[in-house]
Amino acid sequence: MYIVQIASECAPVIKAGGLGDVVYGLSRELEIRGHSVEIILPKYDCMRYDHIWGLHEAYRDLSVPWYGAAILCDVYCGWVHGRLCFFIEPRSGDQFFNRGCYYGCDDDNMRFAFFSKAALEFLLRTNKRPDIIHCHDWQTGLIPVMLFEIYKYHGLEYQRVCYTIHNFKHQGIGGVDVLWATGLNNEAYYFDYSRLRDNFNPFALNFMKGGIVYSNFVTTVSPHHAWEAHLGDCGYGLGHTLHEHQHKFTGVLNGIDYNVWNPEIDDYIPFNYSPDDFQTKIKNKKALREKLWLRHVNQPVIAYIGRLDQQKGVHLVHHAIYYALQREAQFVLLGSATERGINDWFWHEKHYLDHNPDCHLEIGFNEELSHLIYAGADMIIVPSNYEPCGLTQMIGMRYGTVPIVRGVGGLVSTVFDRDYDNHQPEEKRNGYVFYQTDNQALESAMDRAIGLWHYYPKEFRQLALQGMESDYSWNYPGKDYVGIYEHIRHR
């Protein structure tokens, strides 16, 4: 099959979180399976150009209709660690993607509505006719809408869309100006509850809802989260829409790219290791301590890597820092916040703990450092309020770092409690799970993990090895996505 992925991120060139990892990893898996994959992305000024090979201009003066006129774009082409990517650069005074950031602008809805339109126009003008267009998250929710309402009549009639939702919280909200800009010229028609009108705000259009309604198939990133979004409160108002379209909605657990996340060949860590020489991991722990000015003591290192956001349970992350210090463990945090209050809070903590030899908080985004932390830490905590899939627990396991997680979303499908799991046999258990959102729940899971590390090191090592043996590669999810593509291709 010929598959085009359209997204706002692709690791490592554009990565704000798990979306980037998924777009890259899934594309690679599909290619391994013999399919042809291309990726269309915005050309941000702040992306990691050092990860693109052979960047060159591929298409000049792509004229993208916008507000009844047009914006000219240049499209660049290059390889991101082997994947063929096209980067769209609009030449307009709006400077849509020259803002020094990926997200967080007041006109994000317009920026990505434009990107969606430009991506379709690019396919049309270059005569690219993929079997499948795979879109991701709210940023590309308008693609199936425009494809089936406009572009279908101009030559893209056989394309089928798979739409994957990585986070229901951010849905892309817009007004009638989005319709005017994109050429969806029938207000009453699109402002219908069966199409784009937001389920709870009658004056707003909802991009993600459009994606769900118009796509041929919709997935979210774990089966458990599919259930939570459809029947629980994790759909953020889209539960009813998912219910109406349940025949084409499912959850497919994300994988991680075993080539990128592999302690045996990882270039970012000083000492490569495998389950057979697990003791080498301790050398990375030493290197991590040296890098972050932590003292060398007989204590476990507990890590947190991720966005600092309400979704991630920041209050529990904060509590975990102090609880670890109290319980003779060291703590390393790598995270960044987009919310001002949370950012200030963690900067304050950083200054407060600056001279503590058992703790290091690194505020910011640092791909290279994240690899060393996965390799050097003994445990990783993921105390999320909700977690559609979660990659950090899977990456942690791959590096023999034991996860301590809250039992929600994809975390329940990937981490099985060493002491209490009801379903997996002992040899398949790989971490610690707690369920409540209070400090005591977190503490009890941390106690068990720290206790095992201090008093039963052999058993702790066995648990870490069992995590390393769990298979969370793209192998199974890759197969599932190919099955979905085949299913919708013939319709």
CB of 189 to ligand ADP, least distance (A): 34
Which single residue is written with the structure tokens 């209709």?
Answer: 65
Of 179 and 391, CB closest to ligand ADP: 391
CB of 416 to ligand ADP, least distance (A): 18
Straight-line distance from the first to the last Cα atom of the chain, in angstroms, rounded to the nearest whole number: 15
Among 164, 215, 284, 370, binds ligand ADP (CB under 6 A): 370
From the list 75-83, 102-110, 305-313, 474-482, the region that binds ligand ADP by CB under 6 A is 305-313
Of 95 and 338, CB closest to ligand ADP: 338
CB of 307 to ligand ADP, least distance (A): 5
CA-only gyration radius of the chain, Å: 23
Asked if 403 touches ligand ADP (CB under 6 A), the answer is no
Question: Is 402 in contact with 415 (CB distance < 8 Å)?
Answer: no
CB of 257 to ligand ADP, least distance (A): 10
Dihedral angle sign, alpha carbons of residues 165, 6, 8, 54: positive
Distance, in Å, from the CA atom of 394 to the CA atom of 20, rounded to the nearest integer, reads 15
Query: DSSP assignment of 198-258, as one string?
Result: -SS-TT-EEHHHHHHHH-SEEEES-HHHHHHHHHSSTTTT-HHHHHHTGGGEEE------T
Among 220, 392, 401, 473, binds ligand ADP (CB under 6 A): 392
Among 62, 145, 208, 305, binds ligand ADP (CB under 6 A): 305
Question: Is 304 in contact with 317 (CB distance < 8 Å)?
Answer: yes
Amino acid at 266: D
| DSSP-assigned letter for residue 328 | T
Question: Is 289 in contact with 296 (CB distance < 8 Å)?
Answer: yes
Asked if 408 touches ligand ADP (CB under 6 A), the answer is no
Q: Which two tokens stand for residue 243?
A: 């219910």
**Largest distance between two CA atoms of the chain:** 70
Asked if 220 touches ligand ADP (CB under 6 A), the answer is no
CB of 271 to ligand ADP, least distance (A): 20
Among 37, 238, 334, 411, binds ligand ADP (CB under 6 A): 334
- Classify residue 106 as exposed, middle or buried by CB count within 10 Å of its CB (0-12, 13-18, 19+): exposed
Distance, in Å, from the CA atom of 52 to the CA atom of 41, rounded to the nearest integer, reads 13
Of 132 and 389, CB closest to ligand ADP: 389
Asked if 335 touches ligand ADP (CB under 6 A), the answer is yes
* Residue ranges in 3-32 that form contacts with ligand ADP under rule CB under 6 A: 17-19, 21
* Residue ranges in 152-211 that form contacts with ligand ADP under rule CB under 6 A: none
Asked if 269 touches ligand ADP (CB under 6 A), the answer is no
CA distances from 32 to 26, 83, 478 (A): 10, 11, 10
CB of 135 to ligand ADP, least distance (A): 17
Of 136 and 461, CB closest to ligand ADP: 136
Query: DSSP assignment of 67-135, as one string?
Result: TTEEEEEEEEEEEETTEEEEEEEE-STT-TT-SSSSS--TTHHHHHHHHHHHHHHHHHHTT---SEEEE
CB of 242 to ligand ADP, least distance (A): 20
From the list 328-336, 346-354, 433-441, 464-472, the region that binds ligand ADP by CB under 6 A is 328-336
From the list 134-142, 148-156, 366-374, 411-419, the region that binds ligand ADP by CB under 6 A is 366-374
Residue 284 CB: number of other CB atoms within 10 A?
A: 25
Among 23, 64, 123, 391, binds ligand ADP (CB under 6 A): 391
Among 306, 376, 431, 478, binds ligand ADP (CB under 6 A): 306
* Residue ranges in 137-156 that form contacts with ligand ADP under rule CB under 6 A: none
Q: Which two tokens stand for residue 72?
A: 């000219």
Asked if 263 touches ligand ADP (CB under 6 A), the answer is no
Of 21 and 198, CB closest to ligand ADP: 21
Among 241, 284, 299, 336, binds ligand ADP (CB under 6 A): 336
From the list 59-67, 93-101, 286-294, 303-311, the region that binds ligand ADP by CB under 6 A is 303-311
Asked if 333 touches ligand ADP (CB under 6 A), the answer is no
CB of 375 to ligand ADP, least distance (A): 12
Distance, in Å, from the CA atom of 123 to the CA atom of 401, rounded to the nearest integer, reads 43
Binding site for ligand ADP (CB under 6 A): 17-19, 21, 305-307, 334-336, 365-367, 370, 389-392, 395
